[in-house]
Amino acid sequence: MKLTGVWLPIITPFLNDSVDFESYKNLIDCYIPKGISGIMPLGTTGEGPTISESEFEELVEKTMEYVNGRVPVFIGLGGNNTLKVVKQVKTLEKYMVNGILSVSPYYSRPDQRGIYEHFLRISEATDLDIVVYNIPYRTGRNIENSTIHKLAELKNLVGIKDSCGDIKQSTELLLNPPKNFSILTGEDVLFYTTLLLGGHGGILASSHIRTEDFVQVYKDIQNNDHKAALEKWRGLHKFIPMLFEEPNPAPIKYYLHKHGLIKSSEVRLPLMDITDNLKKRMDLI
């Protein structure tokens, strides 16, 4: 499938150290009508590393139940143990998800050959669509554009969440994209730029806030109304950096709780609630 538009890497709400499924359902029912293209649970914004195996499966099951076919769902599933990821992806198939968002192996810092073989094994193990997540400042290793082009040749590697942190690399990929391959930015502040350079959309934690405006920026650019898109983008660009001054998703959870969308702003250790200083500034959004 072609991935375009605004994709929501949805937070996981907690209450008293348990997943708050009532708030989770409320979020899904809130965001789908706002025009998002799809939902990606259990990524970094969903605090995937702190989710237990039993919670993981329950969250996948509940996500599919709550979404009820209204938008596609790609589950965050990655790791640095290739055999373990292969086994986990097989368990997802029974839930009829559309695909997975899979981060490049972290900590082990494999070379480009190892990165390719890692995703090749996952691709061979499933018919689910796969979006590769390149975020070297978290993983310790960049996926080079030559490797991305090679990965794009695999049968079910359908796109990339590009958070490489190098505007030159991102621009080169956007100007010379693999065929039938979606390039989605994971750098929220580069959403507008990515679209202008031919990108297909973004997987944007910031789109938890003023979602319709993010969607409208995408629509305006698709309609070649760049002036309207730029005016809308000016307003969004002002608050995006604030959401990442302290570890994601704590600032977003504070906002969602403040506006009554979730019962608690609770995050799991090692993350912490945001500081009072940031709260004061967040209240002005």
Single out the catalytic residue among 66, 116, 161, 192: 161
Instruction: Mark whether 161 is an active-site residue.
Output: yes
Rounded Cα distance, 84 and 86, in Å: 5
The pair of three-digit structure tokens given for residue 94, joined into one six-digit string: 């029974």
The structure tokens listed for 121 are 């094994």
Q: How far apart are CA 250 and CA 266, in angstroms?
A: 8
Cis ω on the peptide bond leading into residue 177 (within 30° of 0)?
no
Classify 276 as helix, strand or coil.
helix
Measured CA to CA, the distance from residue 22 to residue 278 in angstroms comes to 27
Sequence-distant (6+) residues with CB within 8 A of 127 are 93, 156
Q: Is 212 left (phi over 0), alpha (psi -120 to 50) or beta?
A: alpha
Q: Is 133 a catalytic residue?
A: yes
Q: 137, 165 in Cβ contact below 8 A?
A: yes
Catalytic pick from 66, 116, 133, 192? 133
Residue identified by tokens 């907690």 is 14
Catalytic residues: 133, 161
